[in-house]
Structure 1
Amino acid sequence: MNSRVKVISFGHRIPSELREQFTKKYFSEADFFEVRFNLIMTKELKPQVNKLVMDALILADVGTQAPFIILPGVNVASVMVVSLIHGLTGRFPFIIELTKTHDFPYSWRLKEVHDLDAVRSLGRDHRFPKFSPKKGV
C-alpha cells in the first residue's frame, strides 16, 4: 500500500512554502498536483466538474485513496455546510445556483438546481461501473 498522500489543488498554485508547511505539519511524504480549474458558467456545470475531477484523480493516480484537496476559490465554509447537512440527513442537499441580474446591484435570479446525490452517483458509476444501471433501461 502506498503511504504517500496525494494533494490535489483545483485552480491554485502550490508554492514550495505551502508544500513544506503541509509535509512538516501533517505528512512527511506527499505528492502534489496542480489542476487548472476553468469552468464555462453559461454551460451545464456537472459534466465540466466531472471531467475536471476525473482527469485530476487519474493524473494523481489516487485509486480509492481519499485525496487531500485545495478547493477552487474560497469555498471551505460551503463544503462544511454541505458535509454537515449530509451527516445529519443522510443525503446531500440540493444546491440552488443563482445568477446576478442587471436590474439592481444585489438582485439575483434562479439559474439552476443541482442534485448533489446525482453528482455522487456519477462518481459511483465511475468507481463501480459493472453495478451502474444501463442507460435507456
Structure 2
Amino acid sequence: TIYTSGSTGNPKGVIVPMKALSNFLLSMDDMFSLHENDHLLAVTTFAFDISALEIYLPLISGASLTIVQKEVIQEPSALTALLQEERVTIMQATPTLWQALVTEYPERLQGLNVLVGGEALPAHLANTLKELGCSITNLYGP
C-alpha cells in the first residue's frame, strides 16, 4: 500500500498492482530517456505514490540515485549544495519546495530537469525555472 499525495484532501492508502507500477515506470522511462550520466535526487517520503518514480526510474534506466534525508530536504542551502555535489540532472518536488529553492539559491538549479507534482504549479514559478534553463514537466496535481 502506498499513499496518494493528499492534494484533494487527506492522503488515501492505495494498493498498486506490480503491472501498473511497471507500466508507469516504463512510460516514464520512455518520456525522460534517462541514462548512466543522469542522477536523480529523491526527496519524497517512501509512503507517497510519487516516491516509486523517484526510486525505481533511475534504477531501471541505469541512472544514479541519491535518497535525501529529511533534514537536508528542509534546508534549501543543504539541498541545493547536494544538487551540485552529486551533479544531479533530475529531481521531482512540489511547487512549494521548488519555490523555496528558487528563492534562496536559483543559480544552483540552472539546467536541471525539473519534475513537478502534488500541487498546482504557479505560472511565475514555471517562468522562473524556465529562465534558469530548466526543463519542466508537470506530472500531476490539482
TM-score normalised by length of structure 1: 0.34
As a proportion of its length, which structure holds more helix? Answer: 2
Structure whose alpha-carbon radius of gyration is higher: 1
